[in-house]
Amino acid sequence: MPEFSGEKVLEIEFPITATSLQIDLLIIGPKIDNLIRLAATISDWNIPPAALIILPEATFAEEVESMSHHPRVGRSIFFCKDTAESVQLGLKEIYDFHRKRASLELDNSLSGNFNLNNISPRWLFQTMMEHLDEYIYFKDNKSRFLAVSRYLVESCGKSDPSEIIGLTDFELFDAEHAQDSYDDERKIATGELTELNKEEHILKEGKHAWVASRKLPLYTRSNYLAGSFGLSRDITKQKELNQELEKNHERMEAELLLARKLQCALIQDSVPTFLNSTGGTALQIATEYIPSFHLSGDFFSVKKTTSGGAAILIADVMGHGVRAAMVTAMIQIAVNELQAYAEQPAEFMMRLNSMMYESMHASGQTIFATASYCYLDLESRQLSYIQAGARHGIYTPADSSQHSRIFDGTQIGPALGLLPEVKYAEDYIQLNHQDEIILYTDGVIEAAMNDEEYSEARLLSFLETHRNDDLPQMINRLIESVQSFTDHKGMDDDVCLIGLRVQ
């Protein structure tokens, strides 16, 4: 009679499947129901313990006969009668079996290590095949089904896997899909392909569907290539959604492209001509307007005042895209409404700020715009300017002995729309013949290569080098200079440039 250490003997309750206990010897009393199912489950474990089932003496012969010949009950299952003598003999038998197995140091690595020992891989497989909403299948080297998931069975209009096992795709799906699948599986079954991933369009019972499939070779434990197995997922809804999204995206792209063209046309086509008393050009103007996205958050306006002066506004709205473009539209409307104050920069900017603040505050959004407003009296050649939130202007004298300089007025006021009732201070520059004013947004000076920006210093240097060049060509070369610096043909931020040259 074997002796067991008390520390190693445990009385456990069912179910024992999926427990983390290490069970070497298992003794099962006579009052357990469904003994065949229990014996089969234990036999399915990767390393089934030696198990002794105690049976009533009256039914012993019948139950042993049944379980001994059951195809799912393994050789580690032993039986005894519910008598003291029979139990002692049974315990010795399973104990000897356990010790012999341990002494042989058998290699059980082929069973895999994907699960706890106290669980049946067969049960896991059946659970997966029964309940997962996936097309799971195993096929032989002639593409005949060996095993199929319940979801695949029901999707084919069948009620039981036995109705599909042994069939091929030709008997279940449209001929084109069946032939494609067969060709793919032949390549796998012959070793030509080691893996296949593809999206497939199928026609099943007159309905179009899409599936994403992954197929692999099916090898036996002796490394015989027996066929293929795979999982196909119904992606019809996803595909239809993606197609709808693509249509919506294309429609939106077209609408945004149209909006971009309209925005550019409204802004760039609004530049007036300024003539002197003899009919010659009094003020040469060149502009460049480059949205980084479909729609720009940059804005400029050049207006001729009632006395013939030039009123110029350049603005850079926080952010990009549609929201920023909506604010530029708001600014454009406000500029048109405020033309009566165009020759009074401080009053103009105060009112523009108030209009923007009221609109932004009502929306509950924190949106603002940095800006520079200039009024140029062409008779006196005096430039009055105001800066809000940031510097946006550079003065370049025609005299090459003088340096270009950033608008260096006494102060920069708050950005437009950020605070209510702001009063802005004006600054002045007395211009001479051929002097230049360049207004710009931060898409120019903040254009970067790695962590280095183009910067105000580079902009000043460029303008000094190219002063007195043809004005439109100079603006174009400035864009090329920025793109060359960043090694990028496009612009990462909206860019707006206005060049003014007094004639």
**pLDDT at position 264, please?**
64
Name the token pair of 297. 């958050």
CA distance 480 to 206: 58
Q: Which of 269, 276, 333, 279 is nearest to 308 (CA)?
A: 276
What per-residue string of b and e applies to 15-53 under the rule 16 or more CB within 10 Å gives b?
A: ebeeeeeebebbbbebeeeebeebbbbbbbbbebbbbbb
Name the token pair of 212. 């994403």
Helix (H) or strand (E) holding 476, with range, is: helix 471-486
* Cβ contact 310:378 at 8 Å: yes
Q: Which of 11, 45, 43, 41 is nearest to 28 (CA)?
A: 11
**pLDDT at position 37, please?**
87
CATH of 121-234, one of 3.40.50.620, 3.40.50.150, 3.30.450.20, 3.30.499.10: 3.30.450.20
Residue 126, helix vs strand vs coil: helix
pLDDT per position in the chain (503 positions), as tens? 455 555 566 666 656 666 677 788 889 888 888 888 889 888 888 888 899 999 999 999 999 999 999 999 999 999 999 999 999 999 999 989 988 988 888 777 666 666 666 778 888 899 999 999 999 999 999 999 999 999 999 988 999 999 999 999 999 988 888 999 999 999 998 889 999 999 888 776 677 888 899 999 999 888 899 999 999 998 988 888 988 888 887 887 776 667 666 666 666 667 899 998 888 999 999 999 888 777 778 889 999 999 999 999 999 998 777 788 888 888 988 999 999 999 999 999 999 999 999 988 887 778 899 999 999 999 999 999 999 999 999 999 999 999 999 998 768 999 999 999 999 999 999 999 999 999 999 999 999 888 899 999 999 999 999 998 999 999 999 999 999 999 887 777 889 999 999 99
Name the token pair of 14. 């069912």
**pLDDT at position 3, please?**
57
Over residues 44-89, the pLDDT tens digits come to 888 888 999 999 999 999 999 999 999 999 999 999 999 999 999 9
Residue 171, helix vs strand vs coil: helix
DSSP sequence for 238-274: HHHHHHHHHHHHHHHHHHHHHHHHHHHHHHHTTPPPE
* Cβ contact 444:459 at 8 Å: yes
Measured over the CA atoms of residue 387, residue 392, residue 398 and residue 400, the dihedral's sign is positive
**pLDDT at position 58, please?**
92
Contacts of 325 (CB under 8 A, 6+ apart): 259, 263, 295, 296, 297
CATH of 270-502, one of 3.60.40.10, 3.30.420.40, 3.40.50.11540, 3.40.605.10: 3.60.40.10
Q: Which of 502, 486, 498 is nearest to 371 (CA)?
A: 498
Q: What is the pTM of this model?
A: 0.57
Over residues 299-354, the pLDDT tens digits come to 899 999 999 999 999 999 987 777 888 888 889 889 999 999 999 999 999 999 99
Q: Is the peptide bond before 15 cis (omega within 30 degrees of 0)?
A: yes
**pLDDT at position 297, please?**
82
CA distance 313 to 329: 14
